[in-house]
A and B are shown apart, each in its own frame.
Chain A
């Protein structure tokens, strides 16, 4: 199966990349954007989808500072 893992900084963790993007948007004429968070996207094919959470906990994300969300695509 094909899965997609979205990883983003936990709420409350300072995200300077997100802030930089947020500052850049109005400069390009895109007003009204707020709460920008920059994260990572991991796509993978797995044989056993039941272990995806464990993969995230142990390697793909750092649960101390990041939230993750697993999406099964097909």
Chain B
């Protein structure tokens, strides 16, 4: 199993994500200018400020060559995990529903928060149980999840809202406490909290590990369980 972590100009957490992935499987950096995913099984789009977050967060990165390959990977059913800026990029690229807006408090906020697993039948959460609470940090200025009401209802109905901030922990004013979502096909996930910063109790918590563990299980064991769940 091999993870690929995309590096854009302005990515910041790509090495953190790479090191987190390597606790579970092989992992390598994917350069934004390449159109080739080097045979990786799962793609991680990391946090940071791709292209300086200029114009609008994630707006420019989505046009980089590597994103063409990421889209093809998604169409082929391959899993893609977008963390923070990666989530923003995936929304801008239309691979995930909704958008991320400036925090209600307007400030950058770095804080350990509790997040609840809403749906554990996804390639990203299968190692967790629904109802689990994970302690994972957030750190962002633009993390307020928004989607039109109808979209949000549909997402809810299809189990696409897979992580919510626990009661009292919504750090940014996200609608319906949304912390992480998947696309309709269930193979693209975006979340604002940083699981790569929660893989070692020494640096705060290891609760983020389950996201990477889930992805590894998914790739190694195949998507059987997910398909069953759908059927």
> Does a CB–CB distance below 8 Å link A and B in the complex?
yes
- Interfacial residues, chain A to chain B (CB-CB below 8 A): 13-14, 16-17, 20, 40, 59-62, 64-65
Q: Complex Cα distance A17/B63, Å?
A: 27
Residues in B whose Cβ lies below 8 Å from that of A65? 99, 101, 146
> What string of 1s and 0s marks CB contacts (under 8 Å) between B150-185 and chain A?
000000000000000000000001000000000000
Q: Does chain A have a CB within 8 A of B78?
A: no
| Contact present for A62 and B92 (CB under 8 Å) | yes
Chain B contacts with A in 40-95, Cβ cutoff 8 A: 55-56, 59-60, 63, 92
Residues in B whose Cβ lies below 8 Å from that of A60? 55
| Contact present for B104 and A16 (CB under 8 Å) | yes
| Contact present for B101 and A14 (CB under 8 Å) | yes
B103 interface neighbour in A13, A16, A40, A62, Cβ under 8 Å: A16
Q: Does chain A have a CB within 8 A of B223?
A: no
| Contact present for A17 and B99 (CB under 8 Å) | no
Closest to A58 in B: B63
Separation in Å of the A32 CB from the closest CB of chain B?
24
Q: Complex Cα distance A40/B54, Å?
A: 11
Separation in Å of the A20 CB from the closest CB of chain B?
6
| Contact present for A16 and B59 (CB under 8 Å) | no
Q: Complex Cα distance A51/B114, Å?
A: 46
Q: Complex Cα distance A40/B102, Å?
A: 14
| Contact present for A16 and B106 (CB under 8 Å) | yes
B104 interface neighbour in A14, A61, A62, Cβ under 8 Å: A14
| Contact present for A13 and B101 (CB under 8 Å) | yes
Separation in Å of the A15 CB from the closest CB of chain B?
9
Residues in A whose Cβ lies below 8 Å from that of B99? 62, 64-65
Separation in Å of the B191 CB from the closest CB of chain A?
19
Closest to A20 in B: B106
A-B contact list, 19 entries, CB within 8 Å: A13-B146, A14-B101, A14-B104, A14-B144, A14-B173, A16-B102, A16-B103, A16-B105, A16-B173, A17-B106, A40-B55, A59-B59, A59-B60, A59-B63, A61-B56, A62-B56, A62-B92, A65-B99, A65-B101
Residues in B whose Cβ lies below 8 Å from that of A20? 106
Separation in Å of the B139 CB from the closest CB of chain A?
18
Residues in A whose Cβ lies below 8 Å from that of B148? 64
Besides the known contacts A14-B101, A64-B146, A65-B101, 9 further A-B residue pairs in the complex with CB atoms under 8 A apart: A13-B146, A16-B102, A16-B104, A16-B173, A17-B106, A20-B106, A59-B55, A62-B56, A64-B147
Q: Complex Cα distance A54/B102, Å?
A: 25
> What string of 1s and 0s marks CB contacts (under 8 Å) between B92-129 and chain A?
10000011011111100000000000000000000000
